[in-house]
Every structure is written in structure tokens, then in C-alpha cells.
Amino acid sequence: MNTARIVTPERRNEDIGDTTLRPQLLSEFVGQAQARKNLSIFIEAARKRGEALDHVLFVGPPGLGKTTLAQIVARELGVGFRATSGPVIAKAGDLAALLTNLEERDVLFIDEIHRLSPAVEEVLYPAMEDFQLDLIIGEGPAARSVKIELSKFTLVGATTRAGLLTNPLRDRFGIPVRLNFYTEEELEKIVSRGARVLEIGMTADGANEIARRARGTPRIAGRLLRRVRDFASAADAHAIDRGIADHALSALEVDAVGLDAMDRRYLTTIATNYGGGPVGVETLAAALSEPRDAIEDIIEPFLIQCGYLQRTPRGRLLTSHAFRHLGLSEPTRDAAQFGLFGHDDEG
């Protein structure tokens, strides 16, 4: 489901290949002001002391710049950068191969770090704390413990699910950084900068139109900008204004606040089939033919941020704001009725 949506915050193939829109330095990075300020201080201090930066953990929804910031950290430190992800490190030997190839003060970036296996985590703990590997070589009576000294390195972890991190792993990060959704003004700056990089004209109202539909997420803003540029090129327009942006995004079924067809289907299902809720997520997953994880991780966060949806102990509940956006009348909710018919049993 999420790979087909232009407004998904998850990384798509087109995002992986296109690095032209990404900032290269902290001074170019827009948004996350407090995080940038703190990182700048920590990086400068580590550089002056000639030490490896303390381990960094980026926490936040997808598409907010965790990978970009990790690359910037290495670039600002003037050190090497290696990147991998939790699911790729299947066994302790995979991690050992990565760590033993790092040079002094290098940055190792692990995306989706919450998906590391327990066996790999156990090897990572002494590497983070003491910069050494404790490996068991062989099996049975012939097994022996081997310690391998590592170069002092910086681990930068990224996660969208901080609650899934184990306490021992979380506690080993000296610099936790939470990233928040971007404001409309910040996204306008990102869109305008992207237009300059792509060498397409952009009016202020055109940048605003794209920014306000980008769901607070730079990755989505960049993706929408590229698609709007296609519409502008096809129309032989030299600049993107509000009219061109509105026409393009409406054709892509992204409405004025950034909701797409999947969002509207989700809201409409709760509104019309379940009287606005509360309704359990398992019931919704069955009604929409979507996995529960996709609903919880991809669809719901932005709807909650917009104030269209509430997660309650009894299930998902639409707000008056959601009914107004859908152009539907809000029904009178009878809590006893919902309990009787069991729509609220999976929270």
C-alpha cells in the first residue's frame, strides 16, 4: 500500500537515488532548530578535542531527515561514513565485519536500529561502551572467547519506533535527538531551495501550495515538487505558481491539507460504517484490507497530527474536524451502542 502513495513518508526508490535536494551541511539544513544547535556544539567540541563524537540516536517519524543528518554529522566531523540498517545485520559476524573496518572517529549509521536481533545487540553493547568486540569462536568444548580492539567510532542510530528499543541499547546513546514534523514556513524554504537546485522557477504562492500539502515532511515535499515540476514542464511553464501546483496536486489526488485517497478512504470508512467510532484497529484492518502495521505506522500518525483522529482505549474515534473535512454530518454517538456491537474491542 505505502509504496504506491505519493504522500507516504516511507523512502521510495525515487528518493534513494535523488540526493540533489538534500542539504550537505548543518548551515543548509532547514528546521529542527534546537537539534541543529545542539549538534553543532557537540560536533565542534569533539572536533576540538580530536575525539570521536558520542553515540547519537535520532528518533522521529519517517522522512524528517534522520539519514541526511547522520551524513551531515560525518561531513562536519571530517570523517568516514558507513551506512546500514537493522534488518541487514542478520548475525553477529555481519556487525563485526562492519565495526572492524571502521577507522578512528568514523561514523557508522544504522537505520531502523530497533530491528536489530538480540544476538547482534549483545555484541554491540561492548563495542559502544568499551570499543571492543567480545566474540565466541567455535562451538562446544572447542569454543573460545576472543576480544578484538576497535577504533573509537561514533554510532548514529535512527528509529521511528523508540518504544521498541531495549533499555540497555537506548541508554548507551549519549546524544538522543528527537525530530519533529516541520512547519509550513520551514517546508516553503525547503521547496524554494529544491526548485533552485532543480533549476525551475518558483513563486512564493507556488512554494506555499506545495508546502501545505507536504504533511510536515521534507521527503514528501521533495517528491511533490518533482511531480509538480513534471506538470509545469509538460505545460511549458517557466515557473511553478499556485495554479500549476494546485492543478498538479489535485490530479495526484492530494487535497488541500495533504490527505490522499487512502486517508480519505480510512476516514470515510470510520464515518460511514462505524458512525465515527470508536472502532478497533483490527476491525479497520479487515475492512480496509490493509495490514495493522500499515494503518498504525503510515496512515494514522498524520491524521492524528491534523486533529482528525483520536486513539482511545476503546478504539479509533473521528473528531468533528474530520467530519467537516469530509463534508459529512457528525452523528450522535451512543457509547452503549458501540459497546454492544463490539466495534471498540481492539483499541
- Residues marked as catalytic: 66-67, 111, 160, 219
d(C-alpha 60, C-alpha 177), whole Å? 9
Q: How many residues does the chain have?
A: 347
CA pair distance 286, 298, nearest whole angstrom: 16
d(CA 194, CA 311): 36
- Cα 82 from Cα 72, distance rounded (Å): 12
Distance from C-alpha of 323 to C-alpha of 326, rounded to nearest angstrom = 5
- Which H or E run includes 92? helix 92-100
The DSSP bridge pattern shows strands 81-85 and 175-178 to be unpaired
Question: What would the DSSP string read from start to end of 238-282?
Answer: SEE-HHHHHHHHHHTT--TTS--HHHHHHHHHHHHHSTT--B-HH
What's the CA gap between 26 and 28, in Å, rounded? 5
Give the chain's end-to-end CA distance (angstroms, integer): 22
